[in-house]
Amino acid sequence: MDLLELSASDLSRSIAARKLAPSEVMAAYLAQIAKVNTSVNAVVSLRDPEALMAEARAADDAEPQGWLHGLPLAVKDLCATKGLRTTWGSPLFADFIPAKDDLLAARMRAAGAIFIGKTNTPEWGHGSHSFNPVHGVTRNPYDLSRTAGGSSGGAAAGLAARMLPVADGSDMMGSLRNPAGFCNVYGFRPSWGLVPADAEGDTHLATLATEGPMGRTIEDIARLLTVQAGVNPEVPFGRAGEDYAAALHGDLRGKRIAWLGDWGGAYAMEPGILELCEAGLRVISDLGAEIEAIAPPFPAAKLWQAWITLRAMLNAGGFKAIYDDPAKRAQLKPETIWEIEQGRALAAQAVYEASVIRSRYYAHMARLFQRYDAVVLPTAQVWPFPAEWRWPQSINAVAMDTYHRWMEVVIPISLIGLPALSLPLGFGAQGLPMGLQLAGPVGADAKVLAMGQAYHLATDWPARQPPKL
């Protein structure tokens, strides 16, 4: 039995039934990390293997506290972990050891996970390419010359390379969906508020980013979401969770799905992406869904205006103390400085107008979801690009005017906090992976995952392992 090919859920069931021991699982994953992580660089701040094996052996005879009991987990390096180096990819925190877990980490630890290290991310999570001056570049397991995406690039690459059984991530601008598409795994952005933030800084205006699960199966995604979700009484706008794995039933028959493609030509796409998406849609259609190509429901330019305004406002506020210190500011990457300075130049009226656009778009999409069960878009506008690039400068000779404009296709989902699942589509002509965003109305997380389960059972693209690393 190849333990690395078992889903996290199957590993959990085998551990609960005493057919496998946590120490066996830990040994298998540590061996795989030793074998391939030097090439991929997905897992960072790895703890001492002997200490991890001792912790796993202690779990062999311990009473399970949750479904993650004894499973090795590397937490995204934007999430603080007690006693485990957390850097945010920044030289300012290169040696920082948190005194306590963030809420997400605490919930996963309480469910029995053994934290083995962290997963790599761009500095401060800015950009969808996981490189930083502390840990270096994460590479795509399907082509080591290419990016794994980001900001959950280490998580996606670690899953694809069989260094992790399941993973957490976070998503403000596609950071769960883009790397999942680039690495042939699943990434799920929950409805905003379902996975709550910590009660730190602003928690009323900061409603763009969320944490969520990644995995090689939908069941793993659903079970990890059940652990992560649930109200934090110290922050507003919370949503109660449920047992998402128990809701993975039904099929795609009779579902109405709107295909938005390149948003009427507004989003430049590299050749082959739309064609691979349409091949995936044919699979969904064969499973009984009705696919309808529709016109863009809202002007792309207005969505972008709202997005960059609100994002800049939040970055300027959140990074004020660092930016105001010249010595610390000098250690920020240019993209982060750009975000902060865009926000510092904003007038209150511009922020208000951006919020009005967001509000009108939310209402428009709520009406659209009265006719459709889901909408679909590509997860990215480019194929995984060379790992040496900072970001794609152009698409089909169309210049990108910001460091993140090349991933504008995720904005229609992110701006209004829709639940969205990145579905692997297989591989393009160059053997590179790509994904499809399947998004439903706010609160329809269980329904989106159930649709994803039907697709997974018919395709199981993540079972196709990367080439020998």
Give catalytic residue positions: 76, 151, 175
Whole-number Å distance between alpha carbons of 86 and 117: 9
257: exposed, middle or buried (C-beta count within 10 Å: 0-12, 13-18, 19+)? buried
Rounded to whole angstroms, how far apart are CA atoms 466 and 267?
29
Q: Which residues contact 136 (CB under 8 A, 6 or more apart)?
A: 41, 120
| Cα separation, 39 vs 22, whole angstroms | 26
Q: Hey, which residues does 210 pair with through a beta bridge?
A: 171
Please, are residues 227 and 66 in contact by the beta-carbon 8 Å criterion? yes
Q: Are the C-beta atoms of 273 and 444 separated by less than 8 Å? A: no
Separation of CA 176 from chain center: 1
Burial classification of residue 353, based on how many CB atoms lie within 10 Å of its CB (0-12 exposed, 13-18 middle, 19 or more buried): middle
Number of residues that make up the chain:
469
- Structure token digits, residue 254: 């009779």
C-alpha 460/C-alpha 463 separation (Å) is: 6
Q: Which among 469, 468, 456 has a CA at the least distance from the CA of 216?
A: 456
Amino acid, res. 270: E
- Tell me the C-alpha distance between 46 and 36, whole Å: 13
Cα distance between residue 279 and residue 168, in whole Å: 29
* CA angle, residues 197, 245, 52, in degrees to nearest 5: 65
- Name which of 120, 135, 134 is nearest 175 in CA terms: 120
Helix (DSSP H) and strand (DSSP E) numbers for the chain: 15, 17
Q: Determine the Cα–Cα distance for residues 298 and 258; give it in Å rounded to an integer.
A: 14
Amino acid present at 300: A
Query: In this structure, what token pair is assigned to residue 434?
Result: 């790509």
Handedness of CA 128, 5, 283, 221 (dihedral sign): negative
353: CB partners within 8 A, 6+ apart: 309
